[in-house]
Chains A and B, each alone.
Chain A
Amino acid sequence: GQNIDQPTEMTATEGAIVQINCTYQTSGFNGLFWYQQHAGEAPTFLSYNVLDGLEEKGRFSSFLSRSKGYSYLLLKELQMKDSASYLCAVGGPSGNTGKLIFGQGTTLQVKP
């Protein structure tokens, strides 16, 4: 079966660091993606991990452990504009058709 879990909501303070966790159980794996979606807008790509370890891109970093079926998105120096939903998605199953299986998303609220 396919299952991707992430917290529904999180709250953090401007300037702080927040970590959004994602665990997955899928029948195939072709990489793990994080997308950001502001209310009423389209999802936009943030990061992609296919090998274990940390990928850093500016204030955002993403980590993957394939053996544990676990990833996190780390947001540093939080800004008010980071208030959005963060979607974890697994590429799979076999055949690499581009199929993405999304979690339900984590709504992050950044407070002053």
Chain B
Amino acid sequence: DTAVSQTPKYLVTQMGNDKSIKCEQNLGHDTMYWYKQDSKKFLKIMFSYNNKELIINETVPNRFSPKSPDKAHLNLHINSLELGDSAVYFCASSAPPGREQFFGPGTRLTVL
């Protein structure tokens, strides 16, 4: 199946832990994104990479660090997790930036 995939789908962890979320797309797109959707369903951009180069870096705590080993993968590492990090994190990709984005299924992160 051609798609954007994320792992894991659910992540439950304790405050202070470090965790990673992985994203892969096989659509041949050059641009990938990370979004955070909070409990009020508000979807907000965090980062974007185009051909492995960081092009969007919103005001996000530096505990969040994206990494793009190649243009088909964009991972998100989060250090020292806090309660407020609980949310659904979506990965997305697009062909050129500015065109429609295709979203992964989301990772529901719960910090206890």
Given contacts A85-B41, A87-B43, A104-B42, contact A98 B105 (CB under 8 A): no
Known interface pairs A43-B90, A97-B56, A98-B48. Does A105 touch B41 (Cβ–Cβ under 8 Å)?
yes
Across the interface, which residues of B come within 8 angstroms of A87, CB to CB?
Answer: 43
A91 proximity list for chain B (CB < 8 A) = 98
Using Cβ atoms and an 8 Å threshold, which residues of chain B touch A48? 99-100
CB closest residue in chain A, given B3? A42
Task: Give the Cβ gap from B35 to chain A, nearest Cβ, in Å.
Answer: 8
Contact B56 A99 (CB under 8 A): yes
CB pair B105 A31 closer than 8 Å = no
Contact indicator per residue, chain A 72-112, by CB within 8 Å of chain B (1) or not (0): 00000000000001010101000011111110110000000
A30–B41 contact, CB under 8 A?
no
User: How many residues in B have their beta carbons less than 8 Å from beta carbons of A?
Assistant: 25
Given A43-B43, A87-B43, A104-B41, answer yes or no on A98-B104 (Cβ-Cβ < 8 Å). no
Cβ of B102 under 8 Å from chain A? yes
B20 to chain A, nearest CB (A): 20
Interface residue tally for chain A (C-beta within 8 Å):
23
B105: A residues at CB distance < 8 A:
41-42
- Give CA–CA (A45, B92) in the complex, Å: 11
CA distance in complex: A33, B48 (Å): 18
A98–B42 CB distance below 8 A: no
List chain A positions with a Cβ less than 8 A from chain B. 30-31, 33, 37, 41-45, 48, 85, 87, 89, 91, 96-102, 104-105
Q: Knowing that A42-B104, A101-B45, A102-B44 touch, tell me 17 more A-B residue pairs with CB under 8 angstroms.
A: A30-B98, A31-B98, A33-B100, A41-B106, A42-B106, A45-B100, A48-B100, A91-B98, A97-B56, A97-B98, A98-B31, A98-B99, A99-B45, A100-B101, A102-B42, A104-B40, A105-B42
